[in-house]
Amino acid sequence: MIDIFEYGKDNTDKVFTRSQLTNVSVRESVSEIIKNVRENGDESLFEYALKFDGIDVQKSGIAVSDREIKDAYKAVSPELLSSLRRSIENVLDYHKRQIDRFSSEIYDVKSSSKLGWMYRAMDKAGLYIPGGKASYPSSILMCSLPAKAAGVKEISLATPNPKNPLTLVAAAECGIDKIYKVGGAHAIAALAFGTKSVGKVDIIAGPGNVYVTEAKKQVYGFVGIDMIAGPSEILVIADDSANARFVAADMLSQAEHDELAASILVTPSRKLAEETAIEIERQRKTMSRKGIIDASLKNNGAIIIAKDMSECIEIADRIAPEHLELCVENAAEVAKRIRNAGAVFVGNYSPEPLGDYFAGPSHCLPTSGSARYFSVLSVDTFMKKISYIEYSKEDLFEGALDITAIAECEGLTAHANTIYERLNYEKG
């Protein structure tokens, strides 16, 4: 049975402490893997693939072949393929609409000088898609299509030993250029530094376990990353207008991801809290991943009773959840008051799986409270803004005293000298 807490009276620390990047042994293991792949390239990469992924990529080939993709298409039903294509259409349309915001602009300043900015897509993106306890073909759409919409030239995908045929079909349908049968921290290292078999990329994006997340953290700076993400989580704010059956079902949908996933209900209604707990107990018995759900709810599940809607919002903003559902009256108005969340699902008929598979926005979201400073994966993830500065001689000299004064105050005389050299040249 899921625990029910009263906010301000009971100890609710477990719902506010979600970071997974505190395990020293994980950090050290990942550091060694990255070092070996960086120094030894394919030799170490192939060894780790055999050890952790259970596949001899040196023998079978690390890159997915055209034959394997054709075989995957044969294993996917026409109905499932149609569903996949409708989802692709929605996700691509949503992200293409963001492109208009990335218009470069050069404007006039002073008498004959210009300033501005230029947007450019990154050249090469590396995507990571898990393949451990479950396969996630949907994540291929949610990572690759924003990159496609942005205009990334080359997209690579790393996924460990892809057994679900829909994984390869999704990659093909999304136009991914290269698919590597490799996972874990060693895949992240290969994408970050490149090997003979795996091309180096500019940014790595996509979800993964604690080893993948730690690896992304450690290679950041050599390449860009989308975010530091952790186990999946959902927070539902619900009042007496909500349906306990719906709330329970939505909480269970996240609990089945893995034992570290978090499912939290925050409500001002004790009646709804108790009804939801009963519904969770009833519905969980029929779920295929019941063992994982039970562990998840025991470790990280909670129902928190708040005094009013303002306190519910305060709790939600403090947790900064990956998924935030608003099953309340005037849900759209409540959404305007939310400051920290990866994605907000507004109303009783906007369940989280709608965002996972079909609506359009990416389901690659910040977790573990990082929604306070990270954003959802989108076209923005794969774009760069470049400053544009063009001054005339007259305008530069007009600012010469200000520039040299600040440079000399910092003790950077060579900076100031760039101005003096130009001034002296003009004086003859």
**Tokens for 230?**
């952790």
Question: How open is the CA angle 259-260-262, to the nearest 5 degrees?
Answer: 105
- Cβ(340)–Cβ(372) below 8 Å: yes
CA distance 325 to 333: 13
Could you give the CA distance from residue 2 to residue 17 in angstroms, rounded to a whole number? 18
Give the angle subtended at the CA of 85 by the CAs of 83 and 90, to the nearest 5°: 100
d(CA 180, CA 285): 38
Which residue of the set 257, 323, 325, 363 is catalytic?
323
Angle CA(170)–CA(126)–CA(363) in degrees, nearest 5?
55
Q: Is 388 helix (H, G, I), strand (E, B) or coil?
A: strand
For residues 213 and 232, give the distance between their C-alpha atoms in angstroms, rounded to a whole number. 13
Out of 173, 322, 325, 352, which one is annotated catalytic? 322
Phi, psi of 207 (to 5 degrees): -80, 165
Is the sign of the CA dihedral 161, 165, 167, 172 positive or negative? positive
Active site residue 323: yes
CA angle, corner 100, sides to 129 and 95, nearest 5? 25
SS3 of residue 128 by DSSP: strand
Is the separation of the CB atoms in 121 and 202 below 8 Å?
no
List active site positions.
322-323
